[in-house]
Chain A
Amino acid sequence: MSGRFVRLAEQGRATVSLTVDGVPIEALKGDTLMVALLTQGNALRQSEFDSGRRAGFCLMGACQDCWVWTRSGERLRACSNEVREGLDIVTTQPEAKWPLHG
């Protein structure tokens, strides 16, 4: 699957380069991290409680389903943080995992 989200308008913006899990990607200025990642992939992170992939839920900073991390370990809500040139994002939780459901 290519992207989960589909751009419908506002596509004339300048591009911004960032890295996601070591792979360089291009996004548009003003994109949230969520839009940058989900126009090119189908999920944001791995659930820590089951085998499911997660792609956010509320987009208004209430559900916390869309956490991603900077390589230095800072946690970001992908729905409410915009892309910045040179950002280095990882989509796997740097902390230990505790699988409850296998």
Chain B
Amino acid sequence: MATARIVIVGAGPAGIRCAETLVKAGFKPILIDENRRDGGQIYRRQPEGFTRDYSTLYGSEAAKARDLHDSFDRLRERIDYRPDTLVWNLIPKQLCCVSQGKHSTVDYDALILCTGATDRLMPIEGWQLAGTYSLGGAQIALKSQAVSIGHRVVFMGSGPLLYLVASQYLKAGANVAAVLDTSPLSKRIVALPKMLARPGVLLTGMKLLAQLYQAKIPVHLGIKPEQVLGDAASGVNGVRVRTAKGETLTVDCDAVALGYHLRPETQLADLAGCRMRFDEASGQWWLAVDEEGRTSVSGVYAAGDGAKIRGADAAEHAGRLVAMALLEDQQKPLDAGLRDEQRKALAVMDQFRLGLAQAFPWPAEQARALPDTAIVCRCEMISAGELRRTVSEKGACEVNRAKAFSRVGMGRCQGRYCSQAGAEVIAAAAGVSVQQVGRQRGQAPVKPLSMLTEEVSP
């Protein structure tokens, strides 16, 4: 069955390592990616004509980025690479794709979803104002376009990316107004034993923090975000938070980078009928996969942050491992030693990610405390009060039902940036756990399509 049609979706660290392993085994997979260039979000390549070197672009991760890009460049002629192509739907054994306004279908025998993640957001009053960006978005602005999202930028939220992006902005010469972390120091101390699973990564994180302190950037831990300040016409002009000591702190700025770690992109897996599971540590729904990346649906596999949020290093290992799972299922020979290496590396990263979840927890309680006037759905300006009324007046205690009544999750972003916080708001209003209110179902098209899309006959 050397002719099995294998399709990988996503050309980030997981997708590239998966493709590489399959090519070594004699396959020529199709690699579909929505981006124009390989690398995913984390190792996103700058446009042609840009001249910054690897060290400037990727800092401590420069060697990994270069290695992944080099691997991809070697693979490129040995795979069927289709960049700038969105998989917008799937039916059994067939993907529906759109590229440059043209629709086409791609048949598959085996599908490996390496769809990655986006920022995980918790709303705050005023977050709809122009000048509020996701933390990952702030990083892309710098990495991919060499710009800062503002003249004076506040970094707010929690998670390792908060310190990474703030320090990257600092190094690039941007004006960093403050770093405001919702997680208190005590959580980090409790999480230390687990985070020591990867002492090198922990040390890198501490160095970033030291750089921020050295540059006298105000860093506040254990804050409670209250409001992004500004007006509808000109956008952000500050943020107001409550400090750990209970004092009000206002910081002037014209941009806010906001984020609380990551959420997985699971829509395609959902449409394929793959089972999901609730991950207690992070408090969100993840794809149910076995240790090697098999989903509950035969022939559908997943790896990287779209399957389990463990970061880029883990995604490379998981990409190789999932390829070997597929080889095993196709009764092809595989390198058992290499497989054991990937498993061992991932066990360490599993431990570390539990530490991260403990050190920088998702601030579920913020959703409960959100004022009725705060916007939950920034696409369509739907407030927390409106969402709560679907629970109190219409008895909608399940996410999809509340979505139907309120439209939270139905706007342009299709729930990517509101549905998790929305679920917390619903759970708090209904007095049940967030797991009980369920998760927003994936819907095709997984991203908006233009009415001008043309069908291409095969």
Contact = CB atoms under 8 A, between A and B. Distances in A.
Nearest to B412: A64
A39 interface: yes
B349 to A, nearest CB: 23
A92 B402 CA distance: 31
Nearest to A55: B130
Interface string A25-57: 000011110010001001100010111111111
Interface string B208-227: 00000000000000000000
Nearest to B148: A6
Given A30-B50, A63-B417, A75-B450, A55 B146 contact: no
B233 interface: yes
Main secondary structure of the interface of B (DSSP, over half): loop
B273 interface: no
Interface string A1-30: 100111111111110000000000000011
A68 B172 CA distance: 29
Given A5-B150, A42-B130, A42-B234, A57 B34 contact: no
B136 A10 contact: no
Given A4-B254, A4-B255, A13-B49, A53 B232 contact: yes
Contacts of B234: 1, 42, 53
A40 B50 CA distance: 20
A28 B46 CA distance: 14
A12 B146 CA distance: 12
Contact of A100 (B128, B140, B381): B381
Contacts of B413: 58, 62-65
B371 interface: no
Contact of A63 (B36, B254, B416): B416
B34 A43 contact: no
A8 B147 contact: yes
Interface string B80-109: 000000000000000000000000000000
Contacts of A1: 234, 254
B379 A65 contact: yes
A4 B381 contact: no
On chain A, which size bracket covers the interface? 35 or more
Given A4-B255, A6-B147, A55-B235, A60 B379 contact: no
B173 interface: yes
Nearest to A53: B130
Contacts of A61: 34-35, 447
Interface of A: 1, 4-14, 29-32, 35, 39, 42-43, 47, 49-65, 67, 74-75, 79-80, 82, 100-101
21 contacts: A4-B235, A4-B255, A5-B150, A8-B148, A10-B146, A11-B146, A13-B49, A35-B141, A35-B145, A42-B131, A49-B379, A49-B380, A49-B381, A50-B381, A52-B381, A58-B118, A59-B144, A62-B447, A63-B379, A64-B447, A74-B450
